[in-house]
Amino acid sequence: MKEIILAKCGELVLKGLNRKSFEKTLIKNLHAALSPIGEFEISSIQSTIYIDGKRDYDIDDAYARVSRVFGIASLSRAAEVPKNMDDILCAALEYARPALKKGTSFKVAAKRSDKRFCKTSPEICSELGAYLMKNIDGLRVDVHKPDVLVTVEVRDFAAYIHFKSDPGAGGMPYGSGGKACLMLSGGIDSPVAGYMMAKRGVSLSAVHFLSPPYTGELAKEKVLTLAGTMSAYCPGIELYLVHFTEIQEQILKNCREELFTVIMRRFMVRLADEVAQMSGADALVTGESLGQVASQTLSALTVTNAAAKHIIFRPLIGMDKEEIVTVARKIDTFETSILPYEDCCTVFTPRHPKTRPNLAEVELEEQKLDIEALVARAKEKITKETIQ
Ligand code: ATP
Ligand code: MG
């Protein structure tokens, strides 16, 4: 029996006049996700997306790929049958039989987008319901809370039968919500922050700060691997590398040790602003979570924000580490994130960073540095990596 994939759109059905453009982005993303395994016919009718290979294809692989595309609330495999009642009855019995064991309760739902079909939706439901009851022993009808919902959708060229759905990736289509620049460290948090923004439809570029010779080649490889893993959710993510050694050495040499971290973070956002501009992004994203470390107190974040031109999104701000780790495992970044290579932030960590810095004292301290020249020199050396 021929099978196709049916996907139900999530929140984008609420988008009113913009819905068409959201749908267009979603279909483009589906084509991109499926392109490594073949060419697909993808069309959408009334918030259902029909996905079918142009030639033979591995439906398990295709199903797994579709399940990772943002903007889809749920998906199911469906049998495609000719549009006449006899074929629908026989196919539904054969296709749904494995799920309709003795003692199972079920309900039939029908939708007709082809209103010329010879039966109405209630007629399809009652005929198919009776047919299943007659042919399978021990079934029960439950219209309120059935164990199995057998759905028949009658479309222009065929009818589709499905009875089991799985949750999709949710969220909004990637790229439908603008673009942001993710500050990607080698840690656990920032890939999760990127994932959460991507899920809301924001496409990403990423910036990583490294401090050779204090940070080594392996630390850089680790970030490349993380960006590679993220590209499953953030197709086409670009990674920019910023050499940060001179800036850190200058802060260390000239500024009060307890303000080192907050001053360093202000330089990071200044350079992330530059990368955002280079990559066409309109916001920054970090993996900060309130109170996690000294640089993530309310006062420290306020002082850091003051150096930024773009809005900074911190999607993990109210999450506990454990909750963040759960997502990191789900998106397959955790194992890479815990590899023990040094990060430029940890190389010069002060013994007692100030947890309540205020902007005036930090700005005064920064006067000991030539901010513009330092940023300009670091900017000159920014490189863009290719992500596999
Ligand atoms: P993570 O697990 O993401 O490394 P963290 O708890 O170690 O987070 P910090 O080191 O204070 O926290 O960093 C906070 C945020 O600053 C990170 O989530 C990331 O967005 C950004 N950041 C830190 N170090 C770097 C870096 N080397 N390159 C790019 N961004 C960084
Ligand atoms: Mg870190």
141 DSSP β-pair partners: 106
Q: Pick the atom of ligand 1 nearest to 292's CA.
A: 6
In this prediction, residues 225-247 reach a mean pLDDT of: 95
d(CA 69, CA 172): 9
pLDDT tens digits for range 27-45: 999 999 999 999 999 998 8
Instruction: Indicate whether 166 belongs to any domain.
Output: no
The pLDDT of residue 13 is 64
Alpha carbon nearest to ligand 1 atom 14, residue:
288
Alpha carbon nearest to ligand 1 atom 25, residue:
185
Q: Pick the atom of ligand 1 nearest to 210's CA.
A: 27
Q: How far is the centre of ligand 2, averaged over its atoms, from the C-alpha of 345 (Å)? A: 7
44 & 139 share domain: no
Domain with residue 191: its CATH number is 3.40.50.620
Q: How far is the centre of ligand 1, averaged over its atoms, from the C-alpha of 159 (Å)? A: 51
Distance of CA 312 to the CA centre of its chain: 18
272 & 334 share domain: yes
Alpha carbon nearest to ligand 1 atom 10, residue:
345
227 & 340 share domain: yes
In this prediction, residues 140-146 reach a mean pLDDT of: 95
Domain with residue 53: its CATH number is 3.30.70.1510
Last residue of a domain, one of 157, 187, 213: 157
Q: What are the residues whose beta carbons fall under 8 Å from the beta carbon of 365, sequence distance 6 or more?
A: 255, 256, 259, 263
**pLDDT higher than threshold 80 for residue 347:** no
d(CA 21, CA 63): 24
Say what the pTM is.
0.89
Q: DSSP secondary-structure letter at 283?
A: E
Residues within 6 Å of ligand 1 by CB: 183-185, 187-190, 207-209, 286-288, 292-293, 295, 343-345
**pLDDT higher than threshold 80 for residue 377:** yes
**pLDDT higher than threshold 90 for residue 292:** no
- Per this entry, what is the length of the chain? 388
Ligand nearest to the CA of 286: 1
Instruction: Indicate whether 88 belongs to any domain.
Output: yes
Q: Pick the atom of ligand 1 nearest to 344's CA.
A: 27
197 & 118 share domain: no
Retrieve residue 214's tokens.
Answer: 């204090």
Instruction: Indicate whether 171 belongs to any domain.
Output: no
113 & 183 share domain: no
323 & 352 share domain: yes
Last residue of a domain, one of 28, 55, 77: 77
88 & 69 share domain: no
- Among 8-22, 109-123, 168-182, 195-209, name the one with the lowest average pLDDT: 8-22
362 & 218 share domain: yes
63 & 151 share domain: no
The type of residue at 79 is A
Residue 365 backbone dihedrals phi, psi, to 5 degrees? -65, -40
Last residue of a domain, one of 56, 77, 98: 77
239 & 219 share domain: yes
d(CA 251, CA 256): 8
Alpha carbon nearest to ligand 1 atom 18, residue:
287
Instruction: Indicate whether 223 belongs to any domain.
Output: yes
In this prediction, residues 372-386 reach a mean pLDDT of: 96
**pLDDT higher than threshold 70 for residue 322:** yes
Number of domains, the chain: 3
Ligand 1 pocket test target in 274, 293, 345, 382 with most atoms within 8 Å of CB: 345
92 & 226 share domain: no
Instruction: Indicate whether 167 belongs to any domain.
Output: no
The pLDDT of residue 349 is 78
Helices (H), the chain: 19-34, 59-67, 85-96, 121-135, 189-199, 217-230, 245-254, 260-279, 298-305, 321-330, 334-337, 344-347, 359-366, 371-380
Q: Pick the atom of ligand 1 nearest to 316's CA.
A: 18
SS3 202: coil
Write out the residues surrounding ion ligand 2, Cβ under 5 A: 185, 187, 343
Instruction: Indicate whether 40 belongs to any domain.
Output: yes
d(CA 278, CA 298): 29
CA distances from 148 to 97, 121, 131, 152 (A): 11, 18, 15, 13
pLDDT tens digits for range 198-232: 999 999 999 999 999 988 899 999 999 999 999 98
First to last CA, the chain: 37
Domain with residue 89: its CATH number is 3.30.2300.10
Q: Pick the atom of ligand 1 nearest to 289's CA.
A: 6
Ligand 1 pocket test target in 183, 223, 304 with most atoms within 8 Å of CB: 183
Q: How far is the centre of ligand 2, averaged over its atoms, from the C-alpha of 325 (Å)? A: 14
Quote the domain boundaries for residue 108. 83-157
Residue 58 backbone dihedrals phi, psi, to 5 degrees? -85, 100
Phi-psi region of 280 (alpha: psi -120 to 50; beta: other; left: phi over 0): left
- Among 182-186, 250-254, 288-292, name the one with the lowest average pLDDT: 288-292
For residues 240 and 278, the answer to whether their CB atoms sit within 8 Å is: yes
Q: How far is the centre of ligand 1, averaged over its atoms, from the C-alpha of 186 (Å)? A: 7
Average pLDDT taken over every residue of the chain: 93
In this prediction, residues 241-265 reach a mean pLDDT of: 95
64 & 107 share domain: no
Q: How far is the centre of ligand 2, averaged over its atoms, from the C-alpha of 314 (Å)? A: 14
Instruction: Indicate whether 174 belongs to any domain.
Output: no
Q: Would you place residue 12 in the very low, low, confident or very high pLDDT band (cuts 50, 70, 90)?
A: low
Instruction: Indicate whether 169 belongs to any domain.
Output: no
